[in-house]
Amino acid sequence: MQILVTNDDGILAPGLTALAQAMVKLGEVTVLAPEKNWSISGHVKTLHKPLRLQKVSLTNDLLAYASDGSPSDCVALALLGALETKFDLVISGVNPNANIGHDVTYSGTVTAAMEACIARLPAVAFSLNSPENFQGELNYETAALVARRIVSKVIDHGLPEGVLLNVNIPYGSLDQVKGYKVTRQGLRIYRDALDKRYDPRGKPYYWIGGKPPIGVAAEGTDYGVLSEGYVSITPLQLDLTAFTALKEIEKWDLTD
Ligand code: MN
Catalogue the E-assigned strands of 35-186.
Answer: 53-56, 63-67, 89-95, 123-129, 163-170, 179-182
Amino acid at 73: D
* Per-residue pLDDT at 61 exceeds 90: no
d(CA 7, ligand 1 centre) in Å: 7
What is the b/e burial string over 185-200, where b = at least 16 CB atoms within 10 angstroms of the residue's CB?
A: bbbbeeeeeeeeeeee
Q: For position 133, what pLDDT does the model report?
A: 85
* Of 75, 104, 237, 85, nearest in space to 159 by CA: 237
Q: For position 256, what pLDDT does the model report?
A: 82
d(CA 24, ligand 1 centre) in Å: 22
d(CA 203, ligand 1 centre) in Å: 31
Domains contained in the chain, number: 1
102 vs 90: CA distance, rounded Å: 22
d(CA 84, ligand 1 centre) in Å: 27
* Residues 90 and 123: beta-carbon distance below 8 Å: yes
In percent, the amount of the chain with pLDDT more than 70 equals 100
Asked, for residue 209, whether it belongs to a domain, the answer is: no
d(CA 149, ligand 1 centre) in Å: 22
- Percent helix, strand and coil across the chain, each rounded to 5? 25, 30, 40
Asked, for residue 201, whether it belongs to a domain, the answer is: no
d(CA 17, ligand 1 centre) in Å: 14
The tens digit of pLDDT for each residue in 100-128 reads 999 999 999 999 999 999 999 999 999 99
140 vs 128: CA distance, rounded Å: 8
d(CA 13, ligand 1 centre) in Å: 9
Asked, for residue 42, whether it belongs to a domain, the answer is: yes
d(CA 249, ligand 1 centre) in Å: 37
Q: For position 120, what pLDDT does the model report?
A: 97
Asked, for residue 192, whether it belongs to a domain, the answer is: no
Asked, for residue 206, whether it belongs to a domain, the answer is: no
The tens digit of pLDDT for each residue in 73-95 reads 999 999 999 999 999 999 999 99
Q: Where in the sequence is the domain holding 49, given as residue range(s)?
A: 2-187+215-250
- What H or E segment, with its residue span, contains residue 195? strand 187-198
Q: For position 60, what pLDDT does the model report?
A: 80
CATH number at residue 128: 3.40.1210.10
